[in-house]
RNA sequence: GGAGAGGUGGCCGAGUGGUCGAAGGCAGCCGCCUGCUAAGCGGUUGUGGGGGUAACACCCCACCCAGGGUUCGAAUCCCUGCCUCUCCGCCA
């Protein structure tokens, strides 16, 4: 969420910045509502002031058993008027809030301007795609003879875009989760295992709601949502809290299942493990001081890259252009892993700095030593990494002519074997 | 699921319709005192919004779990929700 006052005072620059991401900011409407809200607020506060003064007077007079008829008569009028204006103020406040909640974040100045993913820029590449002396297979064609993933029965149990991991498939999933968590905790991230069903306020805090309801699974009766990423519960750990300066930065890592409707992606990645309604992911989340957040983003991205380096999987890092940036993000790096079966790089991690966008929605603040007032922290997060897609990358990159798959060295203690056959 | 109790400032805890942003204690900070420490004494210590200032100061409004209601006036009364605790039942 943007700061209402900042928007009010920097209308043109806000509008131009948002234009870069293809968002037309309805400036006139906003200023009209916001202006009305403020003038009404002043009026309401004046009335409340009057009410406070007179009711105190009444209290004193009653204490002296004096006559209060005149005061009571005035107060009746004040009270009625206040009630009416208060109601209108309420409406305007929630209107302003809703308005602000649906405006995306302002891109950082270092983000390349562009309208869609074609304008994303490759920042760096790591590793060399392997040269195969045979035609490399898709991961589902590798998995089927090995009997480690069962899509058909998963469809029977649940539906399309679900998978059953079996045998070494399941073991590899577990191995990756442990390997990733161990690597990140060694780097100073504290391990978190959060709830994966959350309330509406949490979804609003990180920016999934109110705009992206269609992408979420909802539990109907008491209203809950299944998390689309651990970012949601983990970032909301500090919702409506004021942290001490000395507590920052805070680094968390969390393994969770993730649930996504994938509405509107019909026909995309219909086969295989790439796009599932349920998948596992290890996430990295940071709470930092504003002046440090861009350095922290580089570091966080590096922490995610380290997983791929240790697994010896070739990848590249791409910076998303303004038009491809997520709603809440000010700057995002995507890490894309090489998939021989698709002969292209595919997203496996997304690392973002949200600046104070989520912190303002979620009310996550900190107090500087010796300074008055509070400031919003900056929040960051990134996948470190998506486990299903990592498994895909391993199958496709480590496949052999005979259909077996070599287990990457760092994973062997976790997987209990060096070869899947 | 049934029965009951409760949610007040960083923490403990009083208040039960008017003078309450809220007694008292602890903790923190600043002074005084003391050879040092402790004790003692005095002062001070929340958040958001609006106004104001060069910047302070200062003024106003709101906040006693959240949202509604009653009332001239609500921390206090009523309703709903959330959360916590106790007992019973059930259960991984």
The residues of A assigned a catalytic role are: 260, 275, 347, 350, 389
pLDDT tens-digit series, residues A234-245: 999 999 888 888
Cβ of A239 near strand B (under 7 Å)? The reply is no
Strand B bases contacted by the protein (CB, 7 Å): 18-19, 47-51, 60-62, 68, 72-73, 82
Q: Is the CB of A77 under 7 A from strand B?
A: no
- Residue A63, pLDDT above cutoff 80: no
Banded model confidence at residue A155, pLDDT cuts 50, 70, 90: very high
Q: Is the CB of A48 under 7 A from strand B?
A: yes
Mean pLDDT of A187-196: 95
- Identify nearest nucleotide to residue A79 by CA to C1′ distance: B72
Find the Å distance, CA of residue A372 to C1' of nucleotide B35: 38
Q: Binning pLDDT at 50, 70 and 90, where does residue A336 land?
A: very high
Q: Which is it for strands A315-319 and A331-339: parallel, antiparallel or unpaired?
A: antiparallel
| A11 strand B contact, CB < 7 Å | no
What is the pLDDT confidence band of residue A315, given thresholds at 50, 70 and 90?
Answer: very high
pLDDT at A313 over 90: yes
Nearest 10 degrees: Cα torsion A172, A176, A177, A181: 150
Query: In the 3-class helix/strand/coil scheme, how is A103-166 assigned residue by residue?
Result: CCCCCCCCCCCCCCHHHCEEEEEECCCCCCCCCCCCHHHHHHHHCCEEHHHHHHHCCCCCCEEC
Residue A249: cis peptide before it, omega within 30 degrees of 0? yes
Q: Is the pTM of this model over 0.90?
A: yes
| pLDDT bucket at A399, cuts 50 / 70 / 90 | very high
Average pLDDT over residues A68-79: 86
Q: Is the CB of A75 under 7 A from strand B?
A: yes
Mean pLDDT along residues A173-195: 97
What mean pLDDT, rounded, does chain A reach? 93
- Reported in sequence order, the residue ranges of A186-319 that DSSP labels E, i.e. its strands, are 190-192, 197-198, 218-219, 224-226, 241-244, 250-259, 278-288, 315-319
Protein CA A19 to sugar C1' B32 (Å): 62
pLDDT of residue A372: 78
In this prediction, residue A112 has a pLDDT band, given cuts at 50, 70 and 90, of very high
Q: What is the pLDDT of residue A306?
A: 98
A367 vs A153, residue with greater confidence: A153
Does residue A370 register a pLDDT over 80?
Answer: no
Pair of tokens at residue A285: 């989340």
Q: Residue A301, SS3? A: helix
Q: What is the pLDDT of residues A253-306, one digit of tens each?
A: 999 999 999 987 787 888 999 999 999 999 999 999 999 999 999 999 999 999
């Amino acid at each position: 969420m943007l700061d209402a006052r900042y928007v009010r005072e920097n209308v043109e620059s806000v509008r131009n910045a948002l234009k870069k991401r293809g968002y037309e900011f309805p400036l006139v409407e906003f200023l009209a509502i916001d202006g009305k809200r403020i003038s009404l607020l002043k009026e309401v506060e004046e009335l409340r002031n009057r009410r406070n003064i007179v009711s105190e007077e009444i209290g004193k007079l009653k204490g002296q058993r004096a006559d209060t008829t005149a005061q009571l008569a005035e107060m009746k009028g004040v009270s009625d008027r206040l009630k009416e204006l208060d109601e209108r103020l309420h409406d305007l406040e929630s209107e302003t809030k809703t308005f602000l909640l649906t405006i995306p974040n302002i891109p950082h100045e270092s983000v390349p301007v562009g309208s869609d993913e074609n304008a994303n820029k490759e920042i760096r590449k790591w590793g060399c795609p392997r040269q195969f002396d045979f035609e490399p297979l898709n991961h589902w064609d590798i998995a089927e003879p090995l009997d480690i993933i069962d899509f058909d029965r998963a469809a029977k149990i649940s539906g399309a875009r679900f998978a059953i991991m079996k045998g070494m498939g399941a073991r590899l999933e577990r191995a990756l989760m442990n390997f990733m968590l161990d690597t990140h905790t060694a780097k100073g991230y504290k391990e978190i295992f959060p709830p994966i069903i959350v309330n509406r306020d949490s979804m609003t805090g990180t920016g999934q709601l109110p705009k992206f309801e269609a992408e979420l699974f909802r539990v109907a009766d008491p209203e809950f949502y299944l998390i689309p990423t651990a970012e949601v519960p983990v970032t909301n750990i500090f919702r409506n809290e004021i942290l001490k300066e000395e507590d920052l930065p805070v680094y968390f890592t969390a393994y969770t299942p993730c649930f996504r409707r994938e509405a509107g992606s019909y026909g995309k990645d219909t086969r295989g493990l790439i796009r599932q309604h349920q998948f596992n992911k290890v996430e990295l989340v940071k709470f930092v001081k504003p002046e440090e957040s861009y350095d922290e983003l580089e570091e966080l991205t590096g922490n995610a890259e380290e997983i791929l380096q240790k697994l010896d999987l070739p990848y590249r890092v791409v910076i998303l252009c303004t038009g491809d940036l997520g709603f809440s993000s000010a700057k995002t790096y995507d890490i894309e892993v090489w998939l021989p079966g698709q002969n292209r790089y595919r997203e496996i991690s997304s690392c973002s700095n949200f600046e104070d966008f989520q912190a303002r929605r979620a009310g996550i603040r900190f107090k500087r030593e010796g300074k008055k007032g509070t400031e919003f922290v900056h929040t960051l997060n990134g996948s470190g990494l998506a486990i299903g897609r990592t498994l895909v990358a391993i199958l496709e990159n480590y496949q052999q002519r005979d259909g077996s798959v070599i287990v990457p060295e760092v994973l062997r203690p976790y997987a209990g074997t060096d070869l899947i056959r």
